[in-house]
Structure 1
């Protein structure tokens, strides 16, 4: 592989044929936001002296809105649905009670986040009680199970696509750690069993369920009561769940402040350290100047892009030259001719590899050595060895580990 400097240092975003750009579809996410709308979610919480009191429902809506704004900027090809449960009104394809799907009407698929969706969702608190309403979906003497219905609706919304081409997630917002606490023995066990089975069925289909708990002022959210079994927590994961969940909520609120870009690999380069010792590096273009887009000339009649054609005419005879032109360079009163293959060989800097020649102090590195924007290199996680020699594989692994340690101490 020849190393073209113009190709190495350009931004990967400009190359639409790049394999990593084409993988955007395979890395998309399907997300269903499940928001508890029971009356407990509308109780005012004490936010402190410097902050205004707000409800848990407002917190959940703010997190969802912030997440949608981030997706529309950095991951616009993702698809989402917003679903409320424990509601008075119902709107879902399965016609289940207590579940209201906000942004999916008569269709059976998710929607991409749009400015119109975000604008309508930002006003949901003003019209929620009037148009949708809140009520307890699990009450004694009734067989209605709004949490079960919500998981069923979310699973149906996420049936689009394969788990090999998309990540499917359900984000559950609630401040009720025991949704079946008002029921008695037999009814409680039965609803708990069916709800856990519904969650297990969704997870078996490749759908991950993530809980975002909201603690009430009078008590801390106890995930061990019910939701630990629903999302599959035990041992050390159970002990560390609440701190990580709180941090995730804060991240969802603040993530819009930092615009995120997907760092794609520009090129893979082999780093040769010594004989038979090499590792694979990924290069990333982290900083690039903003330049105007390329100008495309269009035909004034058809509006089609114009194609430039060049013809060479002999200066002496005026005949059209069919053969490719020969290039030359004046040298000592003589024109030295070059073939196109020779010109390509001259322009080639080196093979597509980095070779370690030695070490010099940092003071030897001058600013004017940097001819192009720098490219960040990092060891590749997917190293391919061309040799079956066990010793060579071990040396490659050792070199990769050593480079990772150096990066850790430097940065």
Structure 2
């Protein structure tokens, strides 16, 4: 199966109409030119636009982690109506081997994102539509979709009752209201996990989302978080090395772009070398020490994030031990999907400021791990 970001000169992929163009057409010529531009270059990768947009919108922390670990900037070097050509740019000279490793890591991330996008689209179709098949007709096997409002439409149209006000518009308005109410009732009585009518309703205390008791019990055994909103139930503990320290200082003279009215909070994470424990990938194997520095604005919202960072560090969630996405070196301390600003300037591409939505985004990342202010 072809990935969205792999460019082909034939028609093995049929998910998008662009891949179904005949050979020799202007579109196929553009594809071949883009493939030559991005497919074989060591520092370029081609990606379908929906995949890239989904990655930046839904899981930016994964992309930020790749950027931070590798020191790479990912730039859009060219595009057609369907794809982007991404170029990997490094601040300093790196070896061809390092570029190859980073390119491989990016392609792997895009593959995973493609799967998540397809899964998200599938779940959206299932939750928003009801599929049925007429097994007795000559068109058996053909999939039809009808709106969840269809039940309301059938019930109101079959009655054929005139409006109490005598006007056609009033009748249509009442029908629409009735269908809307029925649809809302259906959604309230539907379990988001099994998509059937809720049996033995169980409502989660913090977020008030309701499920079948059996469904939510099984779901919480897999992950102690609400399947609807991701709010965490219970305390998640990571495998961050226990011998690390989180040092916090403030500098009123250091001003971050976008927060010039405030000083800066400087966070320093220090980890000496150690030996992996039973919760790590390779117990008994040594790992090297590391030091990381991050920056927050010394404003109310920045101090709120600082408090959440402290909780995450205490619960051993900020770092983990794994394989470096930059060097491919195993058994090292790496970030654990909680995005930090490691530069004061340069914007999001350099993991710095200005970045107006950063404080809100990082709170969402923390919330996904159960780290909240309450």
| TM-score, normalisation: structure 1 | 0.18
Rg (Cα) greater in structure: 1
Greater relative CO, 1 or 2 (CA 8 Å, sep 6+)? 1
